[in-house]
């Protein structure tokens, strides 16, 4: 048990009886404490299913489950390892009925919400709807009802948003649907207002562990407090210097409140960094230096000085990408870390990936864009999800609208508009309205035939889904059923290029496989033996889909270079990191000049959060770090002069900017040719991104 843990980590792992906070800098083994503590709790006799470990992303959850698996074997499968939102789904599925929520509730995605808000506010402008969404989400995550929001509204815009929030909430109830904020606020309500539910969950949760605690928001903290109750058996680990989600409502107050709310709190600090060389760590410590100190920390590494951090000035975006790729090729040729997965290119904003994708593709280097367009955002997958959501919850009107029109089946917008008016008048869901005796008074007879046929198809599929296991449903029935509704043909009809249609159909089949895997049943374990994994119903899987942003399972074993935003890189590590676009205006990020109207204190806080983001970026690197900035950068359609970010100066590197080394370019070219020769001999690797 003590293998691979230092004394402070052991202390945290062995503190089982009460509240514990591990507060430490990057790479000091906080996440490692959580995985080892799961094993320790099981060893001490706590049933695995009574342990909950809360991670920041689904990907982090999958990784933690795998690591816990190495320590405790199959018991790891029983531990609840998930995000706060996924935990919210569990609570609502088990006990949401007391709030009037059916077990088969739907979770709406951002697009559904935008179109619902457009409808509620009578606008066709998506930007306005998204602004409302942002405001309403802020209110909801602060725990306000529509009525309270109206009272708190400070101007006309907010009053309009509060009025729309009321209509929006009514629709959510009618559709038996929830949004992401509800996944925290409704469980909170459940635990706060229903003592018997609260007691049940407090009994159930023997110990709760929270990773990346610094990025929790106020409602998540309240939820945690209610989950652990008076016994306060929890372990939170975090780093105030890595708090990078303030813009989404995360608050460092949660760190400050912990010792006040739990006087018995044991605070443990970790000081040794096991990830990075001293040169990298020094740059990181220097950067974070100017930020106000909430909790002073020291961080050291005994991995040796290592290579100096490099700073590169690139002429423009294309040149920067070229140099990043040359660096990767040269390191790969000369370092012990030769796998593509050992490299990451990190940037501030999603759109910055493009130049690097082009350069990597040209060099024939496989890569993935992490946090880019999600598999689940692809139109064909959203179509299938709409169908599945409708089968599971007939009241899900947004899903109804998508399924009824995909593939086309003679139900047009006029018909849907008439059906909608009728359903609102009689307070019915669209699906229930289909079968109403009075419907013929509202809709033409030709449309009625098409609507009834659609209703029958849904009923038929639902019947079949209910009479098969989730696994079977996903394996055979999904593909059969897709034939029944003519989905494959629909893809070929709607795409000009057969190749594109085939790729989309192949995504559909991948999705069916993924569903089947998720529904449990017979699966192969690591050694290839067939074992029985936890069975899930179709409903359970459908509800989880809304929470997943990537097909994380598929990503794990890919030997590819990672392209990622700084935000999405949190908690991860790579031997070699290239941090790009480190310019004033990009990092720290500046949206527009209007920001300068903001009070100086707000602007200063923004820069502090950006500085933490830079700190997160630097501390992802284990062995080498290259930081580059643009002498000229694109701003809209223009090319404007660029200046290096203040954070580069703050790293206080005792070296000049590295000039482009012609030998490196030559080495990179040689590596590229060698790679091409090797690839044409073997199978050709292809980038995984679209
Ligand atoms: P971050 O702040 O970035 O989330 P962290 O504090 O969670 O980092 P980990 O990811 O847990 O740090 O650990 C960083 C690296 O150090 C990992 O590769 C981990 O395996 C290794 N590590 C942690 N503790 C030890 C230890 N006691 N001995 C050897 N290696 C360790
Ligand atoms: Mg971590």
- The residues, any chain, with a CB within 8 Å of residue 612's CB and separated by 6 or more, are 241, 242, 243, 244, 288, 291
Judge whether residue 228 has pLDDT over 50.
yes
Mean pLDDT of 229-244: 92
pLDDT of 682: 52
Nearest residue to 80 (alpha-carbon basis) of 104, 48, 57: 48
> Do residues 36 and 1 make contact, with C-beta atoms less than 8 angstroms apart?
yes
Instruction: Express each pLDDT in 22-44 by its tens digit.
Output: 999 999 999 999 999 999 999 99
- Ligand 2 center from residue 490 Cα (angstroms): 45
Residue with tokens 């594109």: 500
Mean pLDDT of 58-83: 89
Which amino acid residue places its CA nearest to atom 2 of ligand 1?
26
CA 118 to centroid of chain Cα atoms = 25
- Ligand 1 center from residue 30 Cα (angstroms): 6
For residues 508 and 528, give the distance between their C-alpha atoms in angstroms, rounded to a whole number. 26
Nearest residue to 90 (alpha-carbon basis) of 120, 112, 61: 61
> Do residues 36 and 64 make contact, with C-beta atoms less than 8 angstroms apart?
no
Q: Please give the number of the atom of ligand 1 that sits closest to the Cα of 26.
A: 2
Judge whether residue 570 has pLDDT over 80.
yes
Per DSSP, the three-state class of 19 is coil
Which amino acid residue places its CA nearest to atom 15 of ligand 1?
275
Is residue 571 within 6 Å of ligand 1 at its C-beta? yes
Does the domain at 106-175 match CATH 1.10.290.10? Answer given as: no
Judge whether residue 611 has pLDDT over 60.
yes
Does the domain at 7-95+184-272 match CATH 2.70.70.10? Answer given as: no
Instruction: Express each pLDDT in 362-416 by its tens digit.
Output: 898 999 888 655 677 788 888 888 898 898 888 888 889 889 888 888 888 788 8
Top-confidence residue, 177 or 631: 631
CATH architecture of 310-366+559-676: 3-Layer(aba) Sandwich (3.40)
Give the tokens for residue 289.
Answer: 């230096």
Q: Where do the domains of the chain lie?
A: 7-95+184-272, 106-175, 310-366+559-676, 376-546
pLDDT of 396: 87
> Do residues 53 and 34 make contact, with C-beta atoms less than 8 angstroms apart?
yes
DSSP assignments along 331-364, one per residue = HHHHSS--SGGGEEEEESSGGGHHHHHHHHHHTT
pLDDT of 479: 77
pLDDT of 591: 61
Label residue 568 exposed, middle or buried (CB < 10 Å: 0-12, 13-18, 19+): buried
**Matching fold, domains 7-95+184-272 and 310-366+559-676:** yes
Indicate the range of 119-128, 220-229, 254-263, 281-290 predicted with least confidence. 119-128
Is residue 214 within 6 Å of ligand 1 at its C-beta? no
Mean pLDDT of 144-152: 91
> Do residues 332 and 300 make contact, with C-beta atoms less than 8 angstroms apart?
no
Ligand nearest to the CA of 284: 1
Helical (H) or strand (E) element with 56: none
Is residue 26 within 6 Å of ligand 1 at its C-beta? yes
- Ligand 1 center from residue 330 Cα (angstroms): 27
Mean pLDDT of 331-348: 89
**426-435, 495-504, 586-595, 611-620: which has the highest mean pLDDT?**
611-620
Residues labelled catalytic: 30-31, 211-212, 242, 620
**161-165, 173-177, 558-562: which has the highest mean pLDDT?**
161-165
CA 662 to centroid of chain Cα atoms = 40
Give the tokens for residue 505.
Answer: 């159909």
Report the helix count and the strand count for the chain, using DSSP H and E. 29, 18
Judge whether residue 548 has pLDDT over 70.
no
Helical (H) or strand (E) element with 179: none
Which CATH code for domain 376-546?
Answer: 1.10.486.10
pLDDT of 23: 93
The Cα-based distances of 299 to 291, 418, 616 in angstroms read 16, 65, 14
Judge whether residue 268 has pLDDT over 60.
yes
């Amino acid at each position: 048990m003590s293998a691979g843990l230092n004394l402070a980590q052991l202390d945290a792992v062995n503190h089982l009886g009460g509240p514990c906070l591990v507060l430490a800098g990057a790479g000091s083994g906080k996440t490692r404490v959580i995985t080892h503590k799961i094993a320790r709790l099981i060893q001490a006799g706590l049933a695995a299913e009574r342990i909950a470990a809360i991670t920041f992303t689904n990907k982090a959850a999958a990784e933690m489950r795998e690591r816990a698996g190495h320590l405790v074997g199959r018991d790891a499968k029983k531990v609840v390892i998930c995000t706060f939102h996924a935990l919210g789904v569990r609570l609502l599925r088990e006990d949401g009925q007391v709030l009037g929520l059916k077990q088969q509730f739907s979770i709406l995605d951002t697009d559904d919400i935008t179109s619902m808000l457009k409808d509620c506010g009578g606008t066709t402008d998506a930007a306005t709807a998204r602004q409302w969404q942002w405001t309403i989400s802020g209110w909801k995550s602060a725990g306000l009802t529509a009525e309270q929001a109206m009272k708190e509204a400070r101007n006309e815009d907010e009053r309009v948003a509060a009025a729309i929030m009321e209509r929006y909430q009514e629709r959510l109830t009618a559709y038996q649907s929830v949004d992401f904020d509800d996944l925290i606020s409704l469980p909170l309500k459940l635990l706060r207002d229903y003592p018997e539910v609260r007691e049940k969950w407090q009994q159930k949760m023997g110990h709760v562990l929270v990773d990346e605690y610094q990025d929790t928001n106020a409602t998540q903290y309240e939820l945690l407090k209610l989950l652990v109750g008076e016994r306060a058996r929890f372990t939170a680990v975090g780093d105030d210097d890595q708090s990078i989600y303030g813009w989404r409502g995360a608050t460092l107050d949660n760190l400050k409140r912990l010792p006040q709310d739990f006087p018995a709190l044991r605070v443990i600090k970790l000081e040794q960094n096991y990830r990075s060389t001293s040169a990298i760590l020094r740059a990181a410590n220097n950067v974070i230096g100017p930020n106000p100190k909430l909790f002073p920390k020291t961080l050291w590494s005994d991995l040796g000085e290592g290579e100096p951090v490099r700073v590169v000035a690139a002429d423009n975006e294309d040149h920067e990408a070229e140099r990043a790729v040359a660096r990767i090729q040269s390191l790969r040729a000369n370092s012990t870390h030769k796998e593509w997965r050992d490299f990451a290119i990190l940037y501030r904003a999603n759109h910055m990936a493009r130049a690097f994708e082009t350069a990597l593709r040209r060099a024939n280097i496989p890569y993935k864009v992490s946090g880019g367009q999600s598999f689940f955002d692809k139109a064909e997958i959203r179509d299938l999800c709409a169908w599945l959501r409708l089968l599971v919850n007939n009241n899900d009107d947004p899903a109804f609208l998508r399924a009824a029109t995909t593939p086309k089946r003679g139900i047009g917008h006029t018909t849907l508009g008439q059906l909608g008016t009728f359903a609102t008048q009689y307070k019915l869901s669209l699906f229930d309205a289909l079968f109403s005796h009075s419907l013929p008074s509202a809709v033409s007879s030709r449309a009625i035939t098409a609507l009834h046929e659609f209703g029958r198809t849904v009923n038929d599929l639902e019947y079949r889904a209910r009479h098969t296991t989730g696994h079977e449903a996903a394996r055979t029935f999904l593909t059969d059923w897709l034939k029944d509704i003519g989905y494959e043909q629909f893809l070929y009809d709607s795409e000009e290029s057969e190749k594109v249609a085939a790729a989309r159909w192949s995504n559909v089949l991948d999705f069916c496989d993924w569903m089947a895997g998720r529904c449990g049943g017979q699966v192969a374990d690591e050694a290839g033996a067939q074992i029985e994994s936890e069975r899930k119903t179709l409903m359970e899987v459908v509800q989880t889909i809304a929470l997943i942003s990537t097909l994380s399972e598929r990503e794990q074993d890919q030997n590819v270079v990672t392209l990622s935003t700084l935000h999405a890189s949190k908690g991860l590590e790579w031997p070699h990191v290239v941090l790009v676009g480190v310019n004033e205006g990009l990092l720290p990020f500046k949206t527009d000049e209007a920001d300068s109207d903001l009070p100086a204190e707000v602007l200063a806080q923004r820069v502090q959060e950006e500085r933490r983001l830079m700190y997160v970026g630097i501390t992802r690197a284990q062995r080498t770090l290259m930081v580059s900035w643009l002498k000229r950068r694109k701003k809209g359609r223009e090319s404007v002069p660029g200046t290096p970010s203040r954070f580069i100066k703050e790293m206080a590197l005792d070296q000049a900017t590295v000039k482009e080394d012609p030998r490196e370019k030559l080495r990179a070219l040689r590596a590229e040719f060698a790679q091409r020769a090797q690839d044409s001999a073997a199978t050709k690797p292809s980038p995984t991104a679209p």
